[in-house]
Amino acid sequence: MRELSYALLTALVLAAPAAPARAVARPADVTASQCIAGGGMIIISAVGDGSQGWTKRCAGGVHDGRTVV
Protein backbone atom coordinates (compact mmCIF):
# COMPACT_ATOMS: atom_id res chain seq x y z
CA MET A 1 0.00 0.00 0.00
CA ARG A 2 2.78 2.42 0.88
CA GLU A 3 4.57 1.79 -2.42
CA LEU A 4 1.41 2.58 -4.34
CA SER A 5 1.10 5.92 -2.55
CA TYR A 6 4.68 6.89 -3.47
CA ALA A 7 4.10 5.83 -7.08
CA LEU A 8 0.91 7.90 -7.27
CA LEU A 9 2.61 10.90 -5.67
CA THR A 10 5.53 10.66 -8.09
CA ALA A 11 3.18 10.43 -11.06
CA LEU A 12 1.29 13.54 -9.94
CA VAL A 13 4.49 15.53 -9.44
CA LEU A 14 5.84 14.54 -12.85
CA ALA A 15 2.55 15.31 -14.57
CA ALA A 16 2.39 18.84 -13.16
CA PRO A 17 3.89 21.56 -15.35
CA ALA A 18 6.83 23.51 -13.96
CA ALA A 19 5.81 26.70 -12.20
CA PRO A 20 7.04 29.95 -13.72
CA ALA A 21 10.15 31.40 -12.05
CA ARG A 22 8.28 34.52 -10.94
CA ALA A 23 5.74 32.42 -9.00
CA VAL A 24 8.51 30.54 -7.18
CA ALA A 25 10.33 33.77 -6.34
CA ARG A 26 7.22 35.30 -4.74
CA PRO A 27 5.30 32.55 -2.94
CA ALA A 28 2.10 33.58 -1.20
CA ASP A 29 -0.20 31.45 0.89
CA VAL A 30 -3.59 30.44 -0.50
CA THR A 31 -6.18 28.08 0.91
CA ALA A 32 -6.89 24.74 -0.71
CA SER A 33 -10.36 25.92 -1.75
CA GLN A 34 -8.88 29.08 -3.37
CA CYS A 35 -6.41 26.92 -5.31
CA ILE A 36 -9.14 24.63 -6.64
CA ALA A 37 -11.55 27.50 -7.32
CA GLY A 38 -8.81 29.23 -9.33
CA GLY A 39 -8.47 26.20 -11.61
CA GLY A 40 -5.41 24.67 -9.95
CA MET A 41 -4.63 21.41 -8.23
CA ILE A 42 -2.77 20.78 -4.98
CA ILE A 43 0.59 19.02 -5.25
CA ILE A 44 1.82 17.39 -2.03
CA SER A 45 5.54 16.54 -1.88
CA ALA A 46 7.58 14.87 0.83
CA VAL A 47 10.47 16.84 2.33
CA GLY A 48 13.57 14.63 2.23
CA ASP A 49 12.57 11.02 2.91
CA GLY A 50 9.13 12.02 4.21
CA SER A 51 10.02 11.99 7.89
CA GLN A 52 10.67 15.76 7.82
CA GLY A 53 7.16 16.69 6.71
CA TRP A 54 5.34 17.69 3.56
CA THR A 55 5.04 20.71 1.30
CA LYS A 56 1.81 21.67 -0.47
CA ARG A 57 1.78 23.85 -3.60
CA CYS A 58 -0.93 25.00 -5.97
CA ALA A 59 -0.15 24.04 -9.57
CA GLY A 60 -2.00 25.61 -12.47
CA GLY A 61 -4.79 28.13 -12.46
CA VAL A 62 -4.75 31.60 -10.95
CA HIS A 63 -2.61 30.70 -7.91
CA ASP A 64 0.08 28.70 -9.76
CA GLY A 65 3.21 28.03 -7.71
CA ARG A 66 1.87 29.34 -4.41
CA THR A 67 2.09 27.58 -1.07
CA VAL A 68 -1.19 26.03 0.13
CA VAL A 69 -2.09 26.51 3.79
* 68 found inside a domain: no
* 35 found inside a domain: yes
pTM of the entire predicted model: 0.53
* 66 found inside a domain: no
Contact yes or no for 40/64 (Cβ under 8 A): yes
Contact yes or no for 23/61 (Cβ under 8 A): no
* 64 found inside a domain: no
Contact yes or no for 67/57 (Cβ under 8 A): yes
Q: Which domain holds residue 25?
A: 2-59
* 65 found inside a domain: no
Q: pLDDT (tens digit, 0 to 9) for every residue of the chain, 69 residues total? A: 455 566 666 666 666 555 444 444 455 789 999 999 999 999 999 988 878 888 999 999 998 888 888
CA 37 to chain centroid = 15
Domain count, the chain: 1
